Structure 1
Amino acid sequence: MSGSAAPRFVVAPPQWSAEEYPTLPGSPAKLKHSVRRRVAYCLVAILVGLTGGLGNGLVVANLQAIQGQLGLTTVEAAWLPAVYYMFNMTANLLVFKFRQQFGLRLFAELGLGIYAALAVLHVFVHTFEISLLVRAASGLTAAAATSLGSLYMIQVLPRQKVFSAFIVGMSLSSMAVPLAWVLSPWLVDVSPWPSLYAFEAGLALCCLAAVMLFKLPVGMQVHVFERLDFVTFLLVAPAIALLCAVLVQGVNVWWFDTPWLAWALAGSLLLFALAAVVEWSRQTPLIRLRWLLHPSTLGFALGALVMRFMVSEQSYGAVGLLRMLGMQSDQLQPLYGVILVGMVLGTTLSALLFARERVLWMILISIALISVGGWIDWNSTSLVRPHDFFFSQFLMSVAAALFIGPILISGMVQAISKGYDHIITFVVLFSVTQSLGGVLGPALLGTYQAQRTELYLQAIAAEMPASSAQVAQRLQSQQQAYARVLTDPALQKQAGNAQLAQIVKREAGVRAYNDVFLLIGLMTFSFLGYAVLRQAWLYYQAKVHPIITRTFVYKKIHT
């Protein structure tokens, strides 16, 4: 490790050959395996990687059903995915060092064991408190499962294909979200809603059995934990939790109407500041703030956050519009099947085409695909159905899978060039940008959509005066529609007015979602233009500018 003393081994490592030596402390050795063993490792990687995100995906896909079964309010139901993100982001603070000192296998077995036990308990005890505990355990387990899936996949492919294996392993948890939407209608149709709890518990138990049966090769374990690491963790963990709470609940309770949001945000900033004070003065910090605050690192973080934010058009924009129009999970199933195919294709292309010199082009292509998808969804109407979004969301899913691998590996290589002790900072940075982008996207886009809906409601109401003949005719037709079931004219009029108001609100919502699509399209187009111009400027400085400078200096010397 650059700039640090020789590592203190927890256990003396075996005598590995140069080909078998682990890439990093905490990573397993790269041994030669039989074809049967490689197939087993591949299956375990897929199982563990998908399980890491499938539990939360099932909750998000069936949040309305959970809310109804447990008798929750909208605010209470929103805490379920919020708790998952809280624990998932905070777990990444310690999971890398834990795997370096104790091995990732121990962390995975502990996490999967707790997750499986709580999930099994949830099959028999249907309470809101148990649901929160299961989501917390799911978030902790997902942090280890994502890394574990990558490490298992690395054992499958040759050493020269380690980056491709890493891309596939890291992408598995992202594929779990559309897979959850594809599976949910079938699971609910087979048996009552608690079957989803049993399915989640079964997956956790299968993962625990697979990890214990097909163990990873022994890795290099070194002493890395320090007492102040836990002080930093105890400050940053609640800071992240408070920030997640603000972002998730801001739209539900509204930003300016709920005082506790301001107190939570202030508390989050204070805890982050205290953690920064602790880390800044440490010789071997848990988070290397000086590197984190470097312009190149901040640029990487901003780019990764913006990319994740733009992909939110898929989870919030198109799906949100369809659900507002009354589409249920079984009707959205084909759309998510297309999204899943797109993510598989994007991951495959990313793994096959990845090379250091192609990273920029792969990212630019991803931004272009997101931009095209946003423009295609613009000008939607209340008559759109899931099949109208097949092509645009396919492009979005390909783009989401195409950029994640290159941007992750390029950032990791940049961190390793500064020293292996910078990797934990990068892991935290990347996980926070992706998880925070996933929460920030719906929060900001939801706020924008709500405000635009109110503006369109006012605009439509202004264009529909009660004295208008068209409005009177529409109200009369609405009242006649209820004449067969309501004999009282007053009730007919009341029901007709309510029905017309509902139609107006629907049309205002559709226009607001079109504004969301337009906003995403403009953002991606601007981001793409900035990236192209910046690369052109760097090319000019590297190729053209030195030639002009050398020519000018040569003429000056010889005159």
Structure 2
Amino acid sequence: MHIMAERRYIFAPEERPLFPGAPYSPRLSSGDRVVYAISGAVLALASGLGNALITTNLYVMAGNMGLYVAEANLLLAVFVAFNATANLLLVRARMQFGIPACLHAILGTLILGELIALCFPSTGTTVLARAISGVASGGLTTMGLYSVFQVFPIRMRPMAVVVGFSLPQLAIPIARMVPLDRVASDHWAGVHGIELALALAAWALTTLRPLPPTDRSKVFQPLDALTITLAMAGMLLGCTGLAFGRFYWWSDAPWLGWMFAGALLLLGLVLLIEDRRAQPLLQVRWFGTADILLIAGISLVVRIALTEQTYAAVGLLALGGLTNDQMHGLFAVVLLAMIGGIALAAWLARPDRALPMMLCSALVIALGAWLDTHSTSDTRATQLMVSQSLLGLGTVLFLGPALLFGIGRVLERGPTHLVSFVVLFSTTQNLGGLAGAALLGSLQMIRARVHAEILADAMPQGDPLAAQRIAAGAGQLAPLLADPGAAATQARARLGTALQNQANILAFNDTFWVVTLLALGLAAFLALVILQQEMRRLRATPPAGGAA
């Protein structure tokens, strides 16, 4: 019989949850632990695979839906905005209503949203599904983490944190390996079908073995609704501006400025309201402390750097004509590297090792990005396996330790700071990914123009090599085009396309350099922080053989 069905079970003091809203950690059988392990994996995939499928196939998806790529980016912005702010609602909801009620509400709403998108396919229902999925993802990530907690003994809780929070990161390489024809047909019914199937599987598994109970208390206040509404509206404006900026261009579309101004106004109003409340959702003044600014800044920079893999490296391969279906081998290797990285990070995990592990993560990311700076027009997926595996390894080496570091700061302050940390960490991860794509995308476009001008200047009108290449191209086209003038024109166009492609490759190499320098700068900063902490510890340690 499952242990939670034994009404006489008395929880030991060490089995109590660390935070309100978290489950107890009772003694479990091996069979229960296996089911919880499967539940944790399914919940992790349910939290992010749908959005990963859209992110990795967005250009094709836009065409199938009759949208410009810029317009299709709204799907990403909506997901990120709702995901970043979901925990404002969900953390307190678990405290007040308990885990089963919250989980069923999340999964039920997600299932309903996907069914609507499947039965009435349109851009509007897809946007609705992305909003619901964003909120659900915030809850399912935490529920997956709680399921993983049940797999490990209490003494191995740091290991459970690393594994549970790293599992959702596997969604991106898995999404890259899903064949395009499985998700792209019939207004992308495949994406909705996969999300629906995962939600139903999660419902079945969590019904088969529910999470242990949690302590409940009345925590919601009327003013919480205003804070949550303003935060979601502000994040939606800001995320939409970030998603659209590089397509409509930052200085060419005045309405982008108004979106960012509105976002800052609404989010500033949220901070003002929370700072003046007796029992706030967000501990605003705590956000200004050194440790929290440290973890927020590091998390944001690392997430921006990691978009090298999701945007720049894939963009380079796409420039060479490769599609996702031709990158399955690459991302299979990345997936294996990430799984190995999770095992390594879990084995090393300890709160006092959090900063050194984040330092190692930054160095690994820098090495991976530096290897990509040598890309050429002949670079293909096989040449990027080592570098992209390093970036995948860097991802999982960072996330778990960063969460351990933050949880340690929450334990020092008490459970009232839990919502603040969860929202802060979630926001840096979500906004960092969106901001990273915007930054690297904008940089690549700017540098491509610069390199195109340099290449054009290096090949002036009448250049013998250019004339020779045009003549050779015209000769190849002669059997297809009877008019020599038309053949020469086509040959010149081909040369122009080749120059533009070369400019784009050089621009991608520039973005790889930026990521390399960003990661190295972060590593140097972390080394200084660790050195400062070590010096402080040595000063606080009394000398050997001191006063008796």
TM above 0.5, yes or no, is: yes
Q: Does the CA-based 8 Å contact 1:70-1:126 persist in structure 2?
A: no
Identical aligned pairs, as a percentage? 34
C-alpha distance after superposition, 1:291-350 (max 9, x if no partner): 111233112211111121122211122112111221111111111111111111111111
Distance between the aligned counterparts of 2:18 and 2:534, measured in 1?
33
Distance between the aligned counterparts of 2:209 and 2:393, measured in 1?
32
Q: Does 1:328 align with 2:315?
A: no
Q: Does 1:202 align with 2:197?
A: yes
Partner of 2:535: 540
Distance between the aligned counterparts of 2:57 and 2:330, measured in 1?
16
Partner of 1:453: 448
C-alpha distance after superposition, 1:129-159 (max 9, x if no partner): 1111111111111101100101111111111
Structure 1 letter corresponding to 2:162 = I
Distance between the aligned counterparts of 1:460 and 1:46, measured in 2?
50
Query: Bigger shift: 384-393 or 321-330?
Result: 321-330
Residue from 77, 92, 112 that aligns with 2:87: 92
Distance between the aligned counterparts of 2:71 and 2:533, measured in 1?
50
- Give the superposition deviation at 1:190: 11
Is the partner of 1:183 in helix, strand or coil? coil
Query: Within 5 A, what are the aligned runs for 1:369-408?
Result: 369-408=364-403
Structure 2 letter corresponding to 1:468 = D
Structure 2 letter corresponding to 1:215 = P
Partner of 2:214: 219
Is the partner of 2:150 in helix, strand or coil? helix
Q: Does the CA-based 8 Å contact 2:15-2:154 persist in structure 1?
A: no
Q: Does 1:248 align with 2:243?
A: yes
Normalised by the length of structure 1, the TM-score is 0.92
Is the partner of 1:517 in helix, strand or coil? helix
Partner of 1:494: 489
Q: Does 1:352 align with 2:347?
A: yes
- Give the superposition deviation at 1:502: 1.1
Normalised by the length of structure 2, the TM-score is 0.94
Structure 1 letter corresponding to 2:130 = R
Partner of 2:75: 80
Q: Does 1:153 align with 2:152?
A: no
Partner of 2:265: 270
Q: Does 1:432 align with 2:427?
A: yes
Give RMSD over aligned pairs. 2.3
CA gap of 1:128–1:188, structure 2 versus 1, over 3 A, is closer
In structure 1, the gaps of 5 or more residues are 1-12, 555-559
Partner of 1:5: none
Distance between the aligned counterparts of 1:17 and 1:133, measured in 2?
44
The alignment of Structure 1 onto Structure 2 pairs a total of residues equal to 539
Partner of 1:113: 108
Q: Does the CA-based 8 Å contact 2:20-2:214 persist in structure 1?
A: yes
Distance between the aligned counterparts of 1:193 and 1:339, measured in 2?
26
Query: Bigger shift: 254-263 or 224-233?
Result: 224-233
- Give the superposition deviation at 1:480: 2.5
CA gap of 1:190–1:131, structure 2 versus 1, over 3 A, is closer
- Give the superposition deviation at 1:117: 2.2
Distance between the aligned counterparts of 1:190 and 1:439, measured in 2?
26
Distance between the aligned counterparts of 2:523 and 2:218, measured in 1?
44
Q: Does the CA-based 8 Å contact 1:108-1:141 persist in structure 2?
A: no
Distance between the aligned counterparts of 1:233 and 1:431, measured in 2?
15
- Give the superposition deviation at 1:199: 2.6
Distance between the aligned counterparts of 1:66 and 1:186, measured in 2?
11
C-alpha distance after superposition, 1:80-106 (max 9, x if no partner): 111111111111211111111112332
Distance between the aligned counterparts of 1:209 and 1:183, measured in 2?
24
Distance between the aligned counterparts of 2:528 and 2:434, measured in 1?
30
Partner of 1:8: none
Distance between the aligned counterparts of 2:141 and 2:228, measured in 1?
21
Residue from 510, 515, 522 that aligns with 1:520: 515
CA gap of 1:31–1:450, structure 2 versus 1, over 3 A, is same
After the TM superposition, list the runs of 4 or more consecutive aligned residues in structure 1 that deviate by more than 4 angstroms.
188-193, 544-548
Query: Bigger shift: 536-545 or 477-486?
Result: 536-545
Is the partner of 2:429 in helix, strand or coil? helix
Is the partner of 1:218 in helix, strand or coil? coil
Structure 1 letter corresponding to 2:341 = G
Partner of 1:343: 338
CA gap of 1:250–1:216, structure 2 versus 1, over 3 A, is same
Distance between the aligned counterparts of 2:185 and 2:431, measured in 1?
35
Is the partner of 1:71 in helix, strand or coil? coil
Q: Does the CA-based 8 Å contact 1:109-1:212 persist in structure 2?
A: no
- Give the superposition deviation at 1:166: 2.1
Distance between the aligned counterparts of 2:346 and 2:49, measured in 1?
22
Query: Bigger shift: 358-367 or 404-413?
Result: 358-367
Q: Does the CA-based 8 Å contact 2:459-2:466 persist in structure 1?
A: yes
Structure 1 letter corresponding to 2:108 = G
Partner of 1:29: 24
Query: Bigger shift: 513-522 or 472-481?
Result: 472-481
Structure 1 letter corresponding to 2:248 = V
Distance between the aligned counterparts of 1:412 and 1:544, measured in 2?
26
- Give the superposition deviation at 1:204: 2.0
Is the partner of 1:379 in helix, strand or coil? coil
Q: Does 1:71 align with 2:66?
A: yes
- Give the superposition deviation at 1:221: 0.8
Q: Does 1:470 align with 2:458?
A: no
Q: Does the CA-based 8 Å contact 1:39-1:156 persist in structure 2?
A: yes
Distance between the aligned counterparts of 2:532 and 2:225, measured in 1?
44
Distance between the aligned counterparts of 1:138 and 1:39, measured in 2?
27
